[in-house]
Amino acid sequence: MPRVLLGLMAALAVAAGPALEDEIAQWRRARASTLQAEGGWLTVAGLFWLHEGANSFGKDPASEIVLPDGPAQAGVFDLRAGTVAVTMKAEGARRELQPDSSDVVKAGRLSLFLIKRGDRLGIRLKDPENPARKEFHGLDYFPASEAYRVTARWVASPRQIPVLNVLGQTEPSQCPGYAEFRIGETDLRLYPILEEPDAQELFYIFRQRPRNLPSRPVPLLWAAQGRPRGARFQQGRQSALRFHALRHLPAAAAGKSLTGAD
C-alpha cells in the first residue's frame, strides 16, 4: 500500500496555488529552524547504551563513554535494576535521572539525556558544534502540488500496532483508527499512531523501498501529519492529510544524513 501511494503521488503533477505555496514555504522555514535549534536533531552526535553497573564518561579516551568536550573524567552513569543515577566527579553529588525527560547532564558544551527504548537504557549526546549542524545548508524538496493536499474520512478503530524505530527496535504504538481517501482512481488507507497519549495530531508512518539500493536492509521511513476536524478522532470526521509536510524520521539519531521531501 505505501509503495502504491508514493507511486501515485509522484505521478501526479498538479501545480500548487499561491495559498498552498505560502503554507508550504512557512512549514519549510519552521522545519529548518527546528532542525538547527540549540537542541534540535542536528545537534544529536551520539548514542551510548548503558550496561548494568558503572558507566564512566568524559573526554579521556579510557572512559567507557568518550566525549568530544568537557572534563577528562566528567562522571559516572550508574545503572542498577532499571534505574539510572549520575555522579559528577567535580561535584560528588548523586542524582537519579528520568528517561525521556528534560533531565540533562552537562559536560562542557555538551548535553546528555537518558532515553529508554524497549528494555534498553542509553545516553543521547547533543553537541551544538556537531558538524551536521554547522554544515547544514537547508533541505531539497520536490515541487509543491495541490494533489498532495488530501482530505480523508476518519474511521475510529483503536488498536496497538508494531512500529520499527530508527534504532532497529520494534515497539507497540497506540493507533486510534485509520484514514480513508482517494488519489486519482485508487482508494487508499493509512493507519497513524499517537506520539503521546493525549496527542491532538495523528502521525502517519510509511515506507519507500529505494530504487537504486536493492541491498539496503532497512527501507526509508517517512512521516506525514493529519488532524481530524471536530471532536478528537471521532468516527466519520474529516482528517486533513499534509503530505507536503512529508519528512524522513529523525535520521540524525541513527547517524544518517538528514534530507527532506514533499
Q: How confident is the model at residue 25 (pLDDT cuts 50, 70, 90)?
A: confident
Out of 14-18, 121-125, 162-166, 221-225, least confident range = 221-225
For 45-78, letters b (16+ CB in 10 Å) and e give: bbbbebeeeebbbbbeeebebebeebbebbbbbb
Backbone angles phi and psi of 70, in degrees to 5: 95, -175
Are the CB atoms for 161 and 175 separated by under 8 Å?
yes
56-82 residue pLDDT tens: 999 999 999 999 999 999 999 999 999
The pLDDT confidence band at residue 89, using thresholds 50, 70 and 90, is: very high
pTM over the 0.75 mark: no
What would the pLDDT profile of 176-223 be if each residue is shown by its tens digit?
Answer: 888 898 888 889 898 888 877 777 777 887 665 555 544 433 333 444
Domains of the chain are: 2-37+138-254 (no CATH), 41-127 (2.60.200.20)
Which residues lie closer than 8 Å to 229 by C-beta, 6 or more apart? 237, 238, 239, 240
Q: What angle do CA 125, 247, 145 make, to 5 degrees?
A: 160
Strand partners, 143: none
